[in-house]
């Protein structure tokens, strides 16, 4: 008999490091940043071209008529000129353009690192989302199992006439509510899987099996140390300083418009009466060409003023960027500390909730407690467990945000 069973691919097993490495390899944001870096590299070549010789070839074709002493003639002429120009002095405009282009490349290179850090944060958060969802599903399943066991006990007591029908009905409602929460939790897990797949550049329906769990590892750096670290290694902070340097270079470039330029030129001409006009090799020249715009209706001065305004703006922008980085570091650090404190308190609440639920069950079975006490205790216990999971999740994501806020270097194992 033909075997028609469908064979499914095995789940992709991933650690947090594996997820980050896959995202760094596949995420399009990094590839786009790398294209920006390559464009910036070509901009340097373009700027340096202003120092190099250039060759210009021109061709002019014409037909003219002349009349003299009553006679009329028509002549056709073809002229070709090749001119070699070597810039000697450009008033510093070329040098400033090269400087700005080289700084632009450094900014673009930092942009790649910035994209990597953001992708690392997205992959880390996505991975923690899955870990949280797994734990929430586990807690929801435990709640269903606990209330189902309680319902079985209530039904058994109802059959022998110990409890009222209302206890059975309220317990059935509690089980149904817990089952609904389990469905929501499972849906949250599926969404978390799809989200991480999207970050890693994998098909959204790829099945993932995570190898880690939410951990509670103490952070070594103080808030002051974190801020200092961010100021020296956060890409945006360094880019802001480069932005000021680029603006200064643009000011020098604009000021070069007030200075004369000097270049060496050599030209050779050909002319003839038939196309392409190479009949006569009869013209050449070699020399220096100096030029100076003595009056340009204030165009150069306007360019200088614009560049100076852009420089002042870059200083303010850099300050704003660094202030934003300090704020981001402080927010992430405080959020991490708050979550750190919540972990201990929520863990105690879970232990108390478990004890309370056990006591409520025993009291109900002994006939001295109510069904409502058991249901309330189970709801409180489930909430306490979810609060503990949330605290762990908040701590780990805040720590990941803090790593990104201080510009922690991305290290990939691929």
pLDDT at residue 286 is higher than 70: yes
**Contact (CB, 8 A) for 81 and 55:** no
Phi, psi of 42 (to 5 degrees): -70, -30
- Residue 5, pLDDT above cutoff 60: no
CA 85 – CA 252 distance, rounded (Å): 24
Long-range contacts of 301-309 (CB under 8 A, 24+ apart): 301/258, 303/254, 303/257, 304/251, 304/254, 304/255, 304/257, 304/258, 306/254, 307/247, 307/250, 307/251, 307/253, 307/254, 308/251
Average pLDDT score over residue span 9-23? 88
Q: Are 131 and 122 in contact, with CB atoms under 8 Å apart?
A: no
Interval 16-26 mean pLDDT: 94
The helix/strand count (H/E) of the chain reads as 8, 6
Cite the beta strand spans of 224-349 per DSSP E. Answer: 261-272, 280-291
Residue 62 banded pLDDT, cuts 50, 70, 90: confident
Please check whether residue 377 is in contact with residue 360, taking contact to mean a CB–CB distance below 8 angstroms. yes
**How many Å is the maximal CA-CA distance in the chain?**
141
| Dist. CA 273–CA 59, nearest whole Å | 13
pLDDT band per the 50, 70, 90 thresholds, residue 4: very low
User: pLDDT by residue (tens digit) across 127-154?
Assistant: 999 999 999 999 999 999 999 999 999 9
Q: What is the pLDDT of residues 88-138, one digit of tens each?
A: 999 999 999 999 999 999 999 999 999 999 999 999 999 999 999 999 999
**Residue 179 three-state SS:** helix
Q: Give tens-digit pLDDT for 37-56.
A: 999 999 999 999 999 999 99
Whole-Å CA distances, 61 to 7, 83, 267, 274: 76, 18, 18, 10
pLDDT reported for residue 274: 76
DSSP secondary structure of 340-363: HHHHHHHHHHHHHHHHHHHHHHHH
Whether residue 304 has pLDDT greater than 60: yes
Q: How confident is the model at residue 6 (pLDDT cuts 50, 70, 90)?
A: very low
Among the ranges given (59-73, 90-104, 190-204, 374-388), the one the predictor scored with the smallest mean pLDDT: 59-73
Instruction: Write out the two tokens for 309.
Output: 């305004």
Which residues share a beta bridge with 210?
14
- For residue 61, pLDDT over 90 is answered with no
Beta-carbon count within 10 A of 329 CB: 25
pLDDT value at residue 30: 93
DSSP result, 29-76: HHHHHHHHHHHHHHHHHHHHGGGS-EEEEEEEEEEEEEEETTEEEEEE
pLDDT classification of 276: cutoffs 50, 70, 90: confident
Instruction: Identify the structural domains of the chain with CATH numbers, from first to last.
Output: 21-51+91-258+299-405 (1.20.1600.10)
Contact between residue 281 and residue 267 where contact means Cβ atoms under 8 Å apart: no
Give the separation between CA 290 and CA 141, rounded to whole angstroms. Answer: 85
Of 5-14, 145-154, 213-222, 342-351, the range with the lowest mean pLDDT is 5-14
Tokens of 173: 């409602």
Q: Which two tokens stand for residue 124?
A: 């880390």
Q: Per-residue confidence at 414, pLDDT binned at 50, 70, 90?
A: very low
Q: Is the pLDDT of residue 1 over 80?
A: no
Report the pLDDT averaged over residues 240-265.
94
What's the pLDDT at 409?
84
pLDDT over threshold 80, residue 309 = yes
Q: Identify the weakest region by mean pLDDT among 5-9, 59-63, 103-107, 322-326.
A: 5-9
Looking up tokens 């991305």 gives 410
pLDDT, residue 123, reads 96
CA distances from 69 to 63, 64, 65, 66, 76 (A): 21, 17, 14, 10, 21
């Amino acid at each position: 008999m033909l075997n028609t069973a469908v064979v499914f691919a095995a789940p992709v097993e991933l650690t947090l490091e594996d997820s980050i490495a896959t995202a760094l390899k596949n995420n399009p944001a990094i590839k786009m940043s790398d294209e920006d870096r390559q464009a910036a590299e070509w901009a340097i070549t373009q700027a340096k071209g202003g120092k190099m010789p250039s060759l210009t070839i021109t061709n002019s074709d014409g037909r003219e008529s002349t009349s003299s002493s009553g006679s009329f003639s028509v002549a056709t002429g073809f002229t070709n000129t090749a001119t070699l120009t070597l810039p000697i002095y450009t008033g510093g405009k070329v040098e400033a353009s090269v400087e700005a282009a080289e700084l632009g490349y450094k900014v673009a290179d930092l942009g790649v690192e910035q994209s990597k850090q953001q992708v690392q944060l997205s992959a880390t958060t996505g991975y923690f989302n899955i870990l949280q969802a797994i734990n929430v599903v586990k807690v929801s399943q435990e709640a269903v199992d606990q209330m189902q066991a309680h319902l079985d006990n209530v039904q058994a007591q109802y059959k022998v006439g110990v409890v009222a029908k209302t206890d059975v009905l309220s317990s059935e409602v509690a089980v149904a509510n817990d089952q609904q929460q389990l469905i929501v939790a499972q849906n949250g897990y599926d969404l978390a899987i799809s989200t991480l797949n999207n970050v890693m550049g994998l098909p959204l329906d790829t099945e993932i099996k995570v190898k880690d769990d939410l951990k509670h590892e103490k952070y070594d750096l103080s808030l002051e140390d974190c801020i200092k670290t961010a100021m020296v290694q956060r890409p945006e902070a360094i880019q802001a300083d480069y932005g000021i340097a680029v603006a200064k270079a643009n000011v020098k470039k604009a000021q070069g418009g007030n200075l004369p330029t000097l270049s060496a030129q050599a030209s050779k001409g050909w002319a003839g009466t038939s196309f392409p006009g190479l009949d006569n090799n009869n013209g050449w020249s070699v020399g220096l060409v100096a030029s100076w715009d003595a009056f340009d209706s204030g165009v150069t001065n306007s360019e200088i003023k614009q560049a100076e305004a852009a420089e002042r703006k870059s200083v303010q922008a850099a300050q704003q960027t660094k202030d934003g980085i300090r704020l981001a570091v402080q927010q992430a650090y405080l959020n991490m500390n708050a979550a750190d404190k919540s972990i201990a308190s929520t863990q105690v609440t879970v232990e108390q909730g478990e004890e309370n639920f056990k006591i409520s069950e025993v009291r109900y079975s002994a006939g001295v407690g109510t069904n409502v006490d058991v249901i309330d205790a189970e709801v409180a216990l489930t909430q306490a467990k979810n609060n503990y999971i949330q605290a762990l999740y908040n701590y780990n994501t805040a720590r990941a945000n803090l790593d990104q806020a201080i510009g922690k270097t991305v290290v990939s194992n691929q």
